[in-house]
Amino acid sequence: MTEIWSYLAQQPLLWLTATLAAFLIGQAIFQALGQRPLANPSLIAMVLLAVLLAITGTPFATYFEGAQFVHFLLGPATVCLALPLYDNLPKVRQAALPLVVALVVGSVTGILAVLAIGKAFGLPQMILASMAPKSATAAVAIGVSEQLGGSPTLTAMMVMLTGLTGAITATPLLNALGLRDWRGRGFSVGVAAHGFGTARAFQVHPTAGAFAGLGMGLNALVTAILAPILLRLF
């Protein structure tokens, strides 16, 4: 069995299958628990895969050889967010000014808050540079972090934690605040929690998902501009 596993572990198809199976298990648990935010399918899949890699002693590089096809699909999936956004274009035009204000305030707050907390704990400049773009989508955040002298690995981890936290807490928090406008709910989640938040927004309401995609895309652009400027204040 050891020899069989050693052979299978080197095959990319095994890890692609494991990734899809882990997500399907996470989705099944999510549905079984009534779509509770804490039962996030992506979080469950990540935990399952991490346990599997730890038990089998499989290096991440070996796993990624198989999972890179899913990684590749992130690009087309992001582009496809333009379709629901196009369907909601009249709603976007009606709320253009509030969206611009919310974008600037949300982006600035997301950057300043993490920098202020990091500075209060005495974190070095490299760590601050790694955390500053944490609310942008991973591809943009890592690029910004590298330009600022941060650690891409740490930035990727911060982006993941930010997204998962937003996906888990957004719905109960927005419910508690009494926010009923799906445009505002979706846009705020997209700005604060990028892809994970957008995926969660689509689970709640299609309009929220469309505006979350808009918030995610615009915040990536604004963060790339503002993060270097705001980092100089610290």
Sequence-distant (≥ 6) Cβ neighbours of residue 132 within 8 angstroms: 111, 114, 115, 144, 145, 148, 150, 227, 230, 231
- 114 and 208 share one domain: yes
Using 50, 70 and 90 to split pLDDT, how confident is the model at 214? very high
Find the mean pLDDT for residues 103-112.
94
Q: How far apart are CA 117 and CA 78, in angstroms?
A: 31
Q: Which of residues 66 and 144 earns the better pLDDT score?
A: 144
Q: Which of 35, 50, 80 is the last residue of a domain?
A: 80
Mean pLDDT of the chain, nearest integer: 87
Q: What is the pLDDT of residue 195?
A: 85
Domain count, the chain: 2
Asked if 18 and 97 sit in the same domain, the reply is no
Is there a single domain that holds both residue 69 and residue 108? no
22 & 35 share domain: yes
* Domain encompassing residue 113: 82-231
Answer yes or no: do 100 and 214 share one domain.
yes
Q: What digits encode the pLDDT tens for the residues 127-186?
A: 999 999 998 988 889 889 999 999 988 998 899 889 989 888 888 899 898 888 999 999
Q: What is the pTM of this model?
A: 0.80
Q: What is the pLDDT of residue 81?
A: 79
